[in-house]
C-alpha cells in the first residue's frame, strides 16, 4: 500500500515549491480561534495585562474614538508602570491633551517609543522638547492600518475601549455611557494584535451593532469608566465660521457644484472644523436643487452629513469615527450608516479603500507652500500640533482635493515659500480656496475656470496667489536633533521634526 506521494522541490513550468505544512498561514493573518472560544472575563486591568504576557519593550496599541475624553490609555500605562514594565512602545491612533498623564511615564522611560497619527497637547510638547528616548513616528491613518496589516507595526497588546459588550463578548461603540460610534481604528488593531483586551463600563448589553466580534478578543475587563463622556464627541455643528471662513466655504461649495457634483456617483468627505461644516451646509441646498443623491459621504462623520443623508442627499455613510453625538446616535440606528475599519477607509495597500473611491475632499491647512505642500503637523514656529491623520490618505485618494485656508492666521501668514513641515505633498492637491478666491492647481481642472468666472466666483492663479501672498522665505529651519519622523502613507519618510 503506497502512501501519499511527497511534493517535488521544483516543478518545471511552475518553479520552486513551498509546500503547505499546516503550520499557520504564511501571509500573516492570525489564525482564527476555533471551537466556540469566548473571551475570558478578567477581574482587574492589572490581571488582564499580566495575563496578556506583555513584557518590557512590548508594543501596546490604543484607539482615539473617545478623543479628548479618553482615560483608558493613561490608566493602562500607569498600571503597566506599577507592574514594573519599562521601555514600552505605545501605538495609539492619536494622542490628545487628556493624555498629559503620559509625560511622567515618558520621562521615567516607562514609555520609550511612540507611533501615532496625530498628537496634540502636553505629550506632543514633550516629544517636541526631545524628552522621548527615540524619535516619535507619525503615520497617516491609512498608513498605520497598512503597517499593522502587513506586519511592519506588530502589536503585542491591543487595548480597546469598548463602550458596550454583550454576553458573548462582542463589542460596540454604538451605545453605552461612552458611546462613540464605529470603532474603525480599533478594528484593525483587534484583527492583528497578538493579544486583545477590551475594557468596558457597560458589560452584558444587547448590542444594536457589533463593531468587533468576540473571536477577536482575548479578555474583557470591567472598569468604572472609560472616560469623560462630555468630552468624547463634542458638538461641532453649532460652531459658526467667521465672515472670512463663510466666504471661503461659499466659494468651495460653488467649485464643487460646478465640477464633481455634475458627475454620477458623487461622494464627499469634509472635516469637523467650522469652515468644513459650513461647506457641507452650503452644499446641501445645491445638491437638493440639482436632484443629486451622492453615493456616499465618508470619513469622520458629523451631524451635518447625517442631515444630508437623511434628506436623501447621500445614499450611505461610511464612517471610521463619529465626530459628534448626532453621528453616534445615527450609527446605532441607521443600517445605511456603515462602520468601516481604518483599513477599509484608507489603507494605501487597498485600491478598494474608501479614500480611493472618493470624489471630493475638503481639507484644512496650517501652512501651504508654493509646491502646494501642506503642513498640518506643526505650527510655523515648530510646535507639534497634529499630524496627518487621514489628511494625506484622502488627499491622494480623492478625485478632487480642495484645501481651504485663510491667508493669515493669528500668528502670521499661512501661504509661504516653504512649509516648515511637509505633511501632505503638493502632488495631491487640486485646488486651494482662500479669501482671495479659488486657485485651480492641476491642469485637469482648468476647465472649471470659465464656469467659476461666469458664476461670479473669484479665481486667482497659482502664480499670483504665491506672488502676492506667499513670498515670505523661511530662514529659521530648526537644526536640533530629530524628535519625530513623518512617514508618508506608504511608509517612506516625507519629513522630520527637529528640536529647536
Give residues 196-255 in contact with its own copies (rule: CB under 8 A): 207, 210, 213-216
Least distance in angstroms from the C-beta of 378 to its own copies: 14
Least distance in angstroms from the C-beta of 231 to its own copies: 29
Least distance in angstroms from the C-beta of 126 to its own copies: 15
444 touching its own copies, by CB under 8 A: yes
146, 233, 416, 432: residue in contact with its own copies (rule CB under 8 A)? 146
Least distance in angstroms from the C-beta of 291 to its own copies: 12
Give whichever of 17 and 238 is closer to its own copies, judged by the CB atom: 17
Site for its own copies in 353-382 (CB under 8 A): 353, 356-357
Query: 176 is written with which cell numbers?
Result: 453605552
Task: Enumerate residues 6+ apart whose C-beta is below 8 A from 355.
Answer: 142, 298, 345, 346, 390, 393, 394, 396, 397, 398
269 touches 298 (CB < 8 A): yes
Give whichever of 12 and 243 is closer to its own copies, judged by the CB atom: 12
Site for its own copies in 156-185 (CB under 8 A): 166-168, 170
Give the C-alpha separation, 132 to 384, whole Å: 14
238 CB burial (10 A radius; 0-12, 13-18, 19+): exposed
Bridging pattern class, strands 360-363 and 337-339: unpaired
Least distance in angstroms from the C-beta of 407 to its own copies: 21
Give whichever of 40 and 231 is closer to its own copies, judged by the CB atom: 40
Give the C-alpha separation, 118 to 135, whole Å: 14
120 touches 129 (CB < 8 A): no
Give the C-alpha separation, 325 to 337, whole Å: 14
30, 101, 364, 451: residue in contact with its own copies (rule CB under 8 A)? 30
7, 50, 238, 455: residue in contact with its own copies (rule CB under 8 A)? 7
473 touching its own copies, by CB under 8 A: yes
Q: Which residue has the cell 442627499?
A: 313
25 touching its own copies, by CB under 8 A: yes
Q: Which residue has the cell 453616534?
A: 328
Give whichever of 173 and 227 is closer to its own copies, judged by the CB atom: 173
Write the DSSP symbol of residue 50: H
41, 290, 450, 474: residue in contact with its own copies (rule CB under 8 A)? 474
Give the C-alpha separation, 226 to 208, whole Å: 20
- For 161-183, the DSSP string reads E-SEE-TTS-EESSSSTT--S--
Which range touches its own copies (CB under 8 A), out of 175-183, 280-288, 317-325, 484-492?
484-492
129 touching its own copies, by CB under 8 A: no
Least distance in angstroms from the C-beta of 28 to its own copies: 7
Size of the site for its own copies (CB under 8 A): 100
Site for its own copies in 46-105 (CB under 8 A): none
456 touching its own copies, by CB under 8 A: no
Which range touches its own copies (CB under 8 A), out of 10-18, 173-181, 280-288, 403-411?
10-18
Give whichever of 208 and 412 is closer to its own copies, judged by the CB atom: 208
117 touching its own copies, by CB under 8 A: no
72 touches 159 (CB < 8 A): yes
Query: 141 is written with which cell numbers?
Result: 491613518
Give the C-alpha separation, 227 to 232, whole Å: 8
Give whichever of 3 and 456 is closer to its own copies, judged by the CB atom: 3
Give the C-alpha separation, 232 to 14, whole Å: 55
100, 286, 482, 499: residue in contact with its own copies (rule CB under 8 A)? 482
Site for its own copies in 281-320 (CB under 8 A): 295, 315-316
425 touching its own copies, by CB under 8 A: yes
11 touching its own copies, by CB under 8 A: yes
- For 366-393, the DSSP string reads SEEETT--EE-SB-TT--B----BTHHH
Give whichever of 28 and 285 is closer to its own copies, judged by the CB atom: 28
Maximum CA extent, the chain: 88
Least distance in angstroms from the C-beta of 104 to its own copies: 20
454 touching its own copies, by CB under 8 A: no
- Helix or strand run (H / E) with residue 267: strand 267-270
Give the C-alpha separation, 396 to 394, whole Å: 5
356 touches 267 (CB < 8 A): no
Amino acid at each position: 500500500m503506497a502512501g501519499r506521494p511527497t511534493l517535488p522541490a521544483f516543478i518545471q513550468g511552475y518553479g520552486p515549491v513551498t509546500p503547505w505544512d499546516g503550520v499557520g498561514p504564511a501571509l500573516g493573518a492570525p489564525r482564527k480561534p476555533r471551537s466556540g472560544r469566548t473571551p475570558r472575563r478578567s477581574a482587574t486591568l492589572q490581571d488582564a495585562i499580566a495575563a496578556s504576557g506583555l513584557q518590557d519593550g512590548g508594543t501596546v496599541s490604543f484607539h482615539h474614538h473617545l478623543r479628548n475624553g479618553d482615560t483608558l490609555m493613561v490608566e493602562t500605562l500607569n498600571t503597566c508602570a506599577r507592574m514594573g514594565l519599562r521601555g514600552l512602545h505605545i501605538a495609539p491612533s492619536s494622542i490628545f491633551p487628556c493624555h498629559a498623564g503620559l509625560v511622567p511615564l515618558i520621562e521615567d522611560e516607562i514609555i520609550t517609543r511612540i507611533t501615532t497619527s496625530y498628537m496634540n497637547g502636553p505629550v506632543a510638547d514633550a516629544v517636541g522638547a526631545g524628552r522621548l528616548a527615540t524619535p516619535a513616528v507619525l503615520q497617516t491613518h491609512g498608513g498605520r492600518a497598512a503597517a499593522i496589516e502587513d506586519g511592519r507595526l506588530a502589536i503585542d497588546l491591543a487595548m480597546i475601549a469598548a463602550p458596550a459588550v454583550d454576553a458573548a463578548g462582542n463589542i460596540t461603540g454604538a451605545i453605552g455611557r461612552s458611546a462613540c460610534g464605529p470603532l474603525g481604528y480599533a478594528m484593525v488593531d483587534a484583527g492583528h494584535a497578538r493579544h486583545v483586551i477590551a475594557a468596558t463600563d457597560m458589560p452584558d448589553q444587547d448590542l444594536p451593532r457589533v463593531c468587533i466580534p468576540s473571536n477577536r478578543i482575548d479578555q474583557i475587563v470591567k472598569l468604572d469608566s472609560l472616560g469623560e463622556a462630555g468630552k468624547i464627541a463634542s458638538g461641532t455643528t453649532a460652531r459658526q465660521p467667521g465672515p472670512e471662513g463663510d466666504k471661503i466655504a461659499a466659494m468651495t461649495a460653488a467649485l464643487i457644484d460646478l465640477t464633481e457634483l455634475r458627475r454620477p456617483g458623487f461622494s464627499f468627505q469634509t472635516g469637523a472644523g467650522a469652515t468644513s461644516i459650513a461647506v457641507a451646509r452650503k452644499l446641501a441646498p445645491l445638491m437638493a436643487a440639482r436632484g443629486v443623491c451622492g453615493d456616499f459621504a465618508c470619513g469622520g462623520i458629523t451631524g451635518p452629513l447625517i442631515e444630508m443623508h437623511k434628506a436623501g442627499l447621500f445614499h450611505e455613510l461610511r464612517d471610521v469615527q463619529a465626530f459628534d453625538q448626532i453621528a453616534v446616535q445615527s450609527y446605532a440606528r441607521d443600517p445605511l450608516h456603515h462602520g468601516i475599519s481604518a483599513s477599509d477607509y484608507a489603507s494605501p495597500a487597498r485600491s478598494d479603500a474608501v479614500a480611493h473611491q472618493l470624489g471630493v475632499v475638503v481639507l484644512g491647512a496650517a501652512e501651504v507652500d508654493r509646491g502646494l505642500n501642506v503642513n498640518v503637523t506643526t505650527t510655523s514656529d515648530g510646535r507639534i500640533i497634529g499630524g496627518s491623520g487621514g489628511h494625506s490618505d484622502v488627499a491622494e485618494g480623492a478625485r478632487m482635493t480642495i484645501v481651504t485656508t485663510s491667508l493669515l492666521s493669528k500668528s502670521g501668514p499661512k501661504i509661504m515659500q516653504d512649509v516648515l513641515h511637509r505633511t501632505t505633498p503638493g502632488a495631491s492637491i487640486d485646488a486651494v480656496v482662500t479669501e482671495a478666491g479659488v486657485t485651480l492647481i492641476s491642469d485637469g481642472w482648468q476647465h472649471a475656470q470659465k464656469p467659476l468666472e461666469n458664476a461670479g466666483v473669484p479665481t486667482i492663479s497659482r502664480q499670483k496667489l504665491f506672488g502676492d501672498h506667499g513670498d515670505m522665505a523661511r530662514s529659521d529651519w530648526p537644526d536640533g536633533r530629530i524628535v519625530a519622523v513623518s512617514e508618508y502613507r506608504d511608509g517612506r519618510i516625507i519629513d522630520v521634526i527637529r528640536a529647536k
